[in-house]
Amino acid sequence: MIVIKGIAASPGIAIGKAYVVEDEDIVVERVEVGRDALKDEVARFKLAQKATLRDLDAAEQKVLKVLGKQHAKLIDAHRLILKDTLITRDVPKRILEEGVNAEFALSEALEAVNRQFEKMDDEFFRERRHDLFDVGKRLLLHLMKRQKKSLTEIDHECVLISRNLLPSDTLGLKETKILGFATDLGGKTSHTAILAQSLEIPAVVGLSDVSRRIKSGDTVILDGEQGMVIISPGPETVAKYEKVQQRTLAEERQLEALKGVPAVTQDGRGFRLEANLDSPEDLKSIVSLQPDGIGLFRTEYLYLNRAEVPTEDEQTKAYAAVVKAMDGREVVIRTADIGGDRLSMLGIEGPKNETNPFMGLRGVRLFLRHLDLFKSQLRAILKASTKGKTRVMIPMVSSVGEVVAARKLLEQARAELAAEGVELKEEIELGIMVEIPSTAIQIDAFLPHVDFVSIGTNDLIQYVLAVDRVNEHVTHLYDPYHPAIVRLLDHVVRAAHAKGRWVGVCGEMTSDPRAVPLLVGLGVDAMSVSPRMFLRVKQAVRGLKHEAMKKIVAKALNCAESDEVRRLLESSQ
Ligand code: PEP
Ligand code: MG
269 with 245, same domain?
A: no
Residue with the bigger pLDDT between 91 and 306: it is 91
Last residue of a domain, one of 92, 112, 143: 143
Q: Which of 143-147, 388-392, 493-497 has the lowest mean pLDDT?
A: 143-147
CATH of the domain at 54: 1.10.274.10
Residue 29, in any domain of the structure:
no
185 with 41, same domain?
A: no
Domain that residue 197 falls in: 2-24+149-254
Q: Tell me what the mean pLDDT of segment 189-194 comes to.
A: 75
Which of 277, 278, 298 best tests ligand 1's pocket when mutated (most atoms within 8 Å of CB)? 298
Q: Give this prediction's pTM.
A: 0.71
Residue with the bigger pLDDT between 549 and 59: it is 549
- Quickly count: other Cβ atoms within 10 Å of residue 447's Cβ: 19
55: pLDDT strictly greater than 70: yes
312 with 393, same domain?
A: yes
Q: Is the dihedral of CA 541, 543, 547, 550 positive or negative?
A: negative
425 with 285, same domain?
A: yes
Last residue of a domain, one of 218, 236, 254: 254
CATH of the domain at 506: 3.20.20.60
Judge if the beta carbon of residue 298 lies within 6 A of ligand 1. Answer: yes
490 with 548, same domain?
A: yes
Q: How far is the CA of 510 from the centre of ligand 1 (A)?
A: 11
Catalytic residue, from 71, 191, 482, 546: name it. Answer: 191
Q: Is the dihedral of CA 106, 109, 111, 113 positive or negative?
A: negative
Q: Which residues surround ligand 2, an ion (CB under 5 A)?
A: 435, 456, 459
Q: Which ligand 1 atom is the nearest neighbour of the CA of 457? A: 3
Q: Tell me what the mean pLDDT of segment 1-11 comes to.
A: 90
Task: Write out the H or E segment, with its range, that includes residue 8.
Answer: strand 7-10
* 550 confidence band (pLDDT: 50, 70, 90): very high
Residue 467, in any domain of the structure:
yes
Residue 14, in any domain of the structure:
yes
Q: How far is the CA of 456 from the centre of ligand 2 (A)?
A: 5
Catalytic residue, from 130, 142, 506, 546: name it. Answer: 506
261 with 250, same domain?
A: no
Q: Which residues pair with 16 in a beta bridge?
A: 220
Report which of 220, 307, 195 is spatially closest to residue 4, judged by C-alpha positions: 220
Q: Name which residue sits closest to atom 1 of ligand 1, judged by CA.
A: 456
Which pLDDT does position 310 carry in this prediction?
A: 93
* 352 confidence band (pLDDT: 50, 70, 90): low
Read out DSSP for 42-111? HHHHHHHHHHHHHHHHHHHHHHHHHT-HHHHHHHHHHHHHHHSHHHHTHHHHHHHHHTB-HHHHHHHHHH
Residue 270, in any domain of the structure:
yes
Distance CA 23, CA 184 (A): 11
CATH of the domain at 10: 3.50.30.10
Distance CA 345, CA 530 (A): 26
Q: How far is the CA of 458 from the centre of ligand 2 (A)?
A: 6
Judge if the beta carbon of residue 105 lies within 6 A of ligand 1. Answer: no
Q: Which ligand 1 atom is the nearest neighbour of the CA of 460? A: 2
Q: How many domains does the chain have?
A: 3
541: pLDDT strictly greater than 70: yes
202 with 56, same domain?
A: no
* 138 confidence band (pLDDT: 50, 70, 90): confident
Which pLDDT does position 532 carry in this prediction?
A: 79
Which of 303, 365, 435, 524 best tests ligand 1's pocket when mutated (most atoms within 8 Å of CB)? 435
Q: Name which residue sits closest to atom 6 of ligand 1, judged by CA.
A: 456
pLDDT tens digit sequence for 168-191: 778 778 778 999 999 998 877 677
Q: Which ligand 1 atom is the nearest neighbour of the CA of 300? A: 9
Q: Name which residue sits closest to atom 3 of ligand 1, judged by CA.
A: 456
Q: How far is the CA of 250 from the centre of ligand 1 (A)?
A: 33
Which pLDDT does position 130 carry in this prediction?
A: 78
SS3 499: coil
Strand 263-264 to 228-231 pairing: unpaired
356 with 234, same domain?
A: no
Residue 559 a catalytic site member = no
* 280 confidence band (pLDDT: 50, 70, 90): confident
167 with 91, same domain?
A: no
Residues 6+ apart with CB under 8 A from 170: 181, 191, 192, 195, 196, 199, 201
Residue 158 a catalytic site member = no
* 349 confidence band (pLDDT: 50, 70, 90): low
pLDDT tens digit sequence for 34-46: 999 999 999 999 9
Residue 117, in any domain of the structure:
yes
Residue 94, in any domain of the structure:
yes
Q: Tell me what the mean pLDDT of segment 359-384 comes to.
A: 95
Residue 535, in any domain of the structure:
yes
Residues 6+ apart with CB under 8 A from 429: 391, 392, 451, 452
472: pLDDT strictly greater than 70: no
**What rounded mean pLDDT belongs to the chain?**
90
Strand 13-20 to 429-434 pairing: unpaired
Distance CA 161, CA 397 (A): 50
Last residue of a domain, one of 189, 220, 254: 254
Query: Cα 97 vs. chain centroid, distance in angstroms?
Result: 44
- Rounded to 5, what percent of the chain is helix, strand, coil? 55, 15, 30
Q: Name which residue sits closest to atom 7 of ligand 1, judged by CA.
A: 458
123 with 199, same domain?
A: no
88 with 17, same domain?
A: no
Q: Is the dihedral of CA 333, 338, 342, 348 positive or negative?
A: positive
Q: Is the dihedral of CA 302, 305, 311, 314 positive or negative?
A: negative
Residue 30, in any domain of the structure:
no
340: pLDDT strictly greater than 90: no
Which pLDDT does position 183 carry in this prediction?
A: 93
100 with 111, same domain?
A: yes
